[in-house]
A and B are shown apart, each in its own frame.
Chain A
Amino acid sequence: MLTTLRRCLGRGALPPDQAAMLRARLVRHPRGLVPARAQLAHVEQISLFVRNVEKEYGTVAFVADFASVPAAVTEYLAKQNLSSELIVAPHPELLALPWADRALLRWRVGRAEASDVVSLQHAFAAVAETGTLVLPSAAERPTTLNLLVETEIVVLRTSRVVGAYEEAWDLLRAERPGLPDGGFMPRSVMLVTGPSRSADVEQMLELGAHGPHRLHVILVQDGAAAAPAC
């Protein structure tokens, strides 16, 4: 196939200096234009993120610290009149939560199955530009939690809200050390913006297609200094 392409392009393989230039571009991965709307002070990025999640039919709740997450989950489920059975991502930050205080919640840790109704996921980061959650797959962040349930609740630290997609890529590159040259990508990186929907019936938008009907973000205020876990 490469030979065919070169014939059509009217040349042989690229000369070594040109190939080296292209390789250097891959390594440098220069940014294109980052819209001004994403380039804000961090506090404003957080409020832009919240506005965009709500614009895309998601909901957001703020909590002061991780210890308050179980209460926020219970409160949300009660308000929505939802099942109090949770499938929880095996992420250290979620496993360390004081679940015992919430006797009414029943929870299981692992990947989601078809019978699961509500999931509690951990966000790697989020992009303010469009209200987008960044959910890379990992042993502690199964992808099925984003897909099989009717309601997905996502825990996100405020320090992990960035302005643009490019900043999220740089976080991934920086925090998966030992895997240079593009090898830093996990099996899957899902960028999730609001709950599942379809406009296939008469081009009218309806929420709740194959993925979750509801997407709720619990924003944990952690200042800017907190060290990321993974």
Chain B
Amino acid sequence: MLSTSSAFKRDASAALADVGLQRALERTKPHFQHRRTAAVAALPEFEQLREIGREIKDHTLVNLDFYLDAWAEMVERAGGTVHFCATAADAREAILGICRQASAKIVTKGKSMISEEIGINDFLEANGITPVETDLGEYIVQLGHEPPSHIIAPAFHLNRDDWEARFRAAHKDLPADRVFRERRDILTEARGELRQRFLAADVGITGANFLIAETGSSVIVTNEGNGDLTQTLPKVHVVLASIEKLVPTLEDASVLLRLLARSATGQDFSVYTTFSTGPRRPGDLDGPEQYHVVLLDNGRSAMLGTEFQPMLRCIRCAACMNHCPVYGAIGGHAYGWVYPGPMGAVLTPALIGVDKARDLPNASTFCGRCESVCPMKIPLPKMMRHWREREFERHLGPPSGRRNLALWAWFARRPTAYRLTARAASLALGVLGRKRGRFRSLPLAGGWTAGRDLPAPEGETFFARYARQSRVER
């Protein structure tokens, strides 16, 4: 997928002015938060599970070579094939090779963010193969020729009228004057349309939430059942997974599964949690004849051993974006690549380069909600700060930013000058703004006041008040 992350500021402004998007965000934003809060409250051990989950992932990451080796051996023993792919291009070629060998015309797909990362849909189409997204949210964004805006709710940015309009435009075989009375009618129509595709597909591609070294299994979780139809009906199943999905055992996966659904949708458990191990066995009446895993690195190994290694613990639950005030204001598309929100602000610079995504780690208020809800306890704000440091070291920001920082640094190292200036500014602004209590616009601060008012200072600096109150208390 091509990135538009460098245009973040422009796209974020456009998102703020997008009436449909704002309507969707306003309506749907609180749902995920409330559901997660309730699910977590109902499991007293949740905090301990977070701690154990983090240990499992850390243990796996520092021994990743061992566990990948053990896992690959088990996949082969079960009759599957592993394709090791260092880059997105390698993964695309591997998948195309498998599809060609199966003489595939139609490929159904379960939800996979990595498939967005490697841009497999456009690539298959360019090679004469039709990819069909089968997750409802992915299906509707595919019909609209746009990327998903959220990692577990791809159509987070759409309203019901968008769904109806796109279905009418795409499903020409149905009566044009049909009425969608309720949301269920949308589901029923999608079920009917996609059922034909499931049955016609030659290859099914799914992602993986986990890979298990003990058994050589891949795990997917879905609520719709689309991922299971995708991996059961066609004669070839391709799992597209990245290296950090690995966990040692079924027990380790069970710990993480207890965290995943609760953090994501606020369910205790997803409807379908399926462990796939190799192709159809002798005597089986259904299931694919071939099982392939396309294992992708694409820049992840370079994060090992760096301050960004904890990001590889991420289990893609989306709790961070569901609780992020920035994501909540602009939605996912403005982030400009596959992964939006706080996890994207850390992961995107690592995978496509901080030079192409320098605005993302800056698009944070550092309120810390992302870290506080992250089931893997990933220090997201701290890592965004690391990216800001790298951005500064490499002179990627605008010169005005460096000049202002240099000015601030000059004052910061001279406490007397700092206090005097702060006192003067605070007094002046206090007098000027006494009447309204806030400023609608200020010279040199247009970037701030364009989006909100600046509250007027009361006239006294923090230092002055602190000193005064300390004297009183003594």
Q: Which residues of A contact B (CB under 8 A)?
A: 1-2, 4-6, 8-10, 13-14, 19, 22-23, 25-26, 29-33, 35-37, 52, 56, 90, 110-112, 114, 129-130, 132, 137-139, 142-144, 146-148, 164-166, 169, 182-204, 206, 208-212
Contacts and interface: CB of A to CB of B under 8 A. Distances in A.
B286 A139 contact: no
A201 B136 contact: yes
B52 interface: yes
A165 B212 CA distance: 15
B183 A111 contact: no
A169 B66 CA distance: 23
B159 interface: yes
A25 B63 CA distance: 12
A32 B228 contact: no
A183 B217 CA distance: 10
A192 to B, nearest CB: 6
Contacts of A29: 214, 248-251
Contacts of A10: 305
A199 B265 contact: yes
B250 A210 contact: no
B279 interface: yes
A33 B228 contact: no
Interface stretch (B218-226, B356-364, B367-375): B218-226
A45 B383 CA distance: 43
21 contacts: A2-B68, A10-B305, A13-B65, A14-B66, A25-B248, A33-B45, A35-B45, A36-B44, A182-B216, A187-B280, A188-B232, A193-B269, A193-B272, A195-B271, A201-B160, A201-B163, A202-B28, A208-B187, A208-B191, A209-B191, A211-B224
A210 B251 contact: no
B77 A183 contact: yes
Interface string B265-277: 1001111111111
Contacts of A114: 195, 199
A129 B183 CA distance: 31
A111 B304 contact: no
Contacts of A31: 251
Contacts of A190: 228, 272-274
A49 to B, nearest CB: 13
Interface residues of B, number: 102
B301 A32 contact: no
Nearest to A196: B225
A196 B271 contact: yes
Contacts of B24: 202
Interface in B32-59: 32, 43-45, 48-49, 52-53, 56
B186 interface: yes
Contact of B286 (A5, A14, A56, A142): A142
A203 B153 contact: yes
Given A35-B258, A169-B250, A210-B229, 19 more contacts: A1-B295, A1-B297, A1-B301, A2-B68, A8-B305, A22-B70, A31-B251, A32-B255, A137-B281, A137-B284, A143-B228, A144-B285, A187-B277, A188-B274, A189-B275, A192-B272, A202-B158, A210-B198, A211-B228
Contact of A203 (B32, B250, B270, B271): B32
Given A8-B304, A166-B251, A187 B284 contact: yes
A4 B301 contact: yes
Nearest to A183: B77
Given A1-B84, A26-B70, A198-B224, A169 B251 contact: yes
The 8 closest A-B pairs by CB, nearest first: A211-B225, A209-B224, A139-B283, A200-B137, A32-B255, A111-B285, A182-B215, A130-B269
